[in-house]
Amino acid sequence: MKGTCWLNIQDGRCEVNINGATLKSECCATLGAAWGSPCERCEIDVNECEVFPGVCPNGRCVNSAGSFRCECPEGLTLDGTARTCVGKDTSSTRILPSQVLPPHRN
């Protein structure tokens, strides 16, 4: 069920409606402090791995208090976003023919 997502709770009142109806899990896992009408305070910790399935493409999502991390299977590594597992870059270990010096002759 979708409802109103609230950015702040001040003196027991929900304030600053985030535009558009959202699911409670989406609201509370992002910017929301409360959800619904009447508004309900969001839980302190949200399991982002359950709320956002597929958040770690090619890897495994590991929930932690207040956050999450992605882990990659052997042979893959995290990209610059730390969210997607990609093949390890082996270009730095590749030797091109132009990089090989000819044998030294005396």
Q: Spell out the domain ranges in the chain.
A: 3-41, 48-87
pTM for this prediction: 0.48
List, for residues 37-92, the tens digit of each pLDDT value. Answer: 898 888 767 788 988 889 999 999 998 877 889 999 999 999 999 999 999 864 44
Q: 48-87 belongs to which CATH class?
A: mainly beta
Q: 3-41 belongs to which CATH class?
A: alpha beta
The pLDDT value recorded for residue 29 is 79
Rounded to an integer, what distance in angstroms lies between the CA atom of residue 72 and that of residue 29?
23
User: Please, is 104 exposed, middle or buried when counting C-beta atoms within 10 Å of its C-beta (0-12, 13-18, 19+)?
Assistant: exposed
